Chains A and B, each alone.
Chain A
Amino acid sequence: MSKVLDEYIRGITTDNPIFGLVLGLCPLLAVTTSVENGIGMAAGAAFVLICSNVIISALRKQIPASVRLPIFIIIIATFVTIVDMSMEAFTPDMYTQLGVFIPLIVVNCIIIGRAEAYANKNNVFYSLIDALGSATGFLLVLVLMGAIREILGTGAIAPFGYTLITVPINPATFMIMPPGAFLTIAILMAIVNYRKAKKLARGG
């Protein structure tokens, strides 16, 4: 049981897609203008990640090693097409907001990275847990960045029409414009580096 939990937590902490492995930066910076978009993007990526990890893990003995990457990409592209069409049909507003970044899930390095590094070598159950962990890690970072940028940029967090928090500040539109994304990720990464350095200095 503890191994299952470890595998799950690993995706959020040491192997966190953004801060640990530095993968999947494009969607992270582009869609986090609000918490709502962040959740939508993370949900799409999570579906693709979980399904493709399970399928690839189930087929890992049949896939010849020399052509494995094209096969992974085709499997991933299939699930991205499913997400793309479902979002267009059921959540059209979100679909227009996220735009080209839905089809671009297919070249998101997180998914092919997990397929190559984990699902290709482990059984179906652990691959599922690994995918869940990475998906949660990605979701948390997207929501965190969305929250920071939305609260500083508009003065409130209001996902899906529910206003959660309002802060009486003068909104800085800068934060929801492209440079705000770069600034937020720079500061977050600096904080993570600082924490890591302190941990090392204390002796692990």
Chain B
Amino acid sequence: MVEESLIAVLINGVFVKNFLLIQFLGLCSFVGVTKDLKSATGMSGAVIFVMTMAAVASFGLYTYILVPLKLEFLTLICFIVVIASLVQLVEFVLRKHVTPLYRSLGIFLPLITTNCAVLGVVMLNVMNDYPFVYSVVFAIAAGLGYMVAMLMMASIRERAEYVNVPGAIQGLPHAFLVATMLSMAFVNYFKVIPV
């Protein structure tokens, strides 16, 4: 069914098809939450966590409920509801049982419901017909790729605070110029690893 090996899925997800820099999924948080390294780390942790959970939950829902009942046209609506309720559930469980983790991830969880990266992962899993293990590995890889890009961006922007930038380029344009450089580096993986 799927020709790629698991390791290829992993490398592809982290580097070659990096979610933020190559596929442009989840850009709102990429420019919004990367002003300092601490919140970027928190956000990436929360995204990896929710992405993996969402991949597991959506795989079960799609394979065992939607396909047997021939309800594939409801895929999108169901996935959105699953992600939204999952985020709520994760928030409750973390707040009750893993308080330290909740303190560091808590404020980022609501942001994830509308993060296109999470919905992107589950939709790509369905579009590529990935079996269960592949879905989970792909979700973890996508999350790690997200984290790599977020941390790089945040560390650069933290230092860029001390740089004298011309008025018109301050803020978002500067962030996008930094993203251009990072993206140029990642595009070269196309050549290194033949897809």
Let me know if B173 and A178 touch, CB within 8 A: no
Q: Which of A26, A177, A194 contacts B27 (CB 8 A)?
A: A26
Known: A178-B187, A197-B167. A186 touches B176 (CB 8 A): yes
Residues of B near A74 (CB, < 8 A) are: 77, 80-81
Let me know if A183 and B76 touch, CB within 8 A: no
Q: With the chains together, A177 CA to B180 CA distance in Å?
A: 11
CB-contacts of A185-204 with B (<8 A): 185-187, 189-191, 193-194, 197
Does B69 count as interface, using CB distance less than 8 angstroms? no
Residue among A70, A78, A100, A109 with most chain B CB within 10 A: A100
Q: With the chains together, A178 CA to B114 CA distance in Å?
A: 23
Chain A nearest CB from B43 CB (Å) reads 16
Interface residues on B, range: 35 or more
Residues of A near B140 (CB, < 8 A) are: none
Let me know if A186 and B27 touch, CB within 8 A: no
Contact indicator per residue, chain A 44-71, by CB within 8 Å of chain B (1) or not (0): 0000000000000000000000000010
Does B124 count as interface, using CB distance less than 8 angstroms? yes
Known: A25-B27, A107-B115, A181-B24. A186 touches B76 (CB 8 A): no
Does B6 count as interface, using CB distance less than 8 angstroms? no
Known: A26-B27, A29-B24. A189 touches B176 (CB 8 A): yes
Let me know if A73 and B172 touch, CB within 8 A: no
Number of A-B contacts (CB under 8 A): 111
Q: With the chains together, A80 CA to B119 CA distance in Å?
A: 14
CB-contacts of A91-142 with B (<8 A): 99-100, 103-104, 106-109, 112
Q: With the chains together, A100 CA to B21 CA distance in Å?
A: 16
Does A84 count as interface, using CB distance less than 8 angstroms? yes
Let me know if A189 and B77 touch, CB within 8 A: no
Does B169 count as interface, using CB distance less than 8 angstroms? yes
Residues of B near A29 (CB, < 8 A) are: 24, 27
Q: With the chains together, A84 CA to B172 CA distance in Å?
A: 32
Residues of B near A197 (CB, < 8 A) are: 167-168
Residues of A near B66 (CB, < 8 A) are: none
Q: With the chains together, A135 CA to B139 CA distance in Å?
A: 32
Does B48 count as interface, using CB distance less than 8 angstroms? no
Residue among A70, A185, A186 with most chain B CB within 10 A: A186
Let me know if B168 and A84 touch, CB within 8 A: no
Chain B nearest CB from A22 CB (Å) reads 7
Does B109 count as interface, using CB distance less than 8 angstroms? no
Chain B nearest CB from A165 CB (Å) reads 25
Let me know if A80 and B76 touch, CB within 8 A: yes
Residues of A near B104 (CB, < 8 A) are: none
Let me know if A190 and B180 touch, CB within 8 A: no
Residues of B near A109 (CB, < 8 A) are: 28, 114
Chain A nearest CB from B12 CB (Å) reads 15
Chain B nearest CB from A183 CB (Å) reads 5
With contacts A179-B187, A182-B183 known, what are 5 further pairs, Cβ within 8 A? A23-B28, A25-B28, A74-B80, A78-B77, A106-B80
Chain B residues packing against A (C-beta within 8 Å): 21-28, 31, 73-74, 76-77, 80-81, 84, 114-116, 119-120, 123-124, 127, 167-174, 176-177, 179-181, 183-184, 186-187
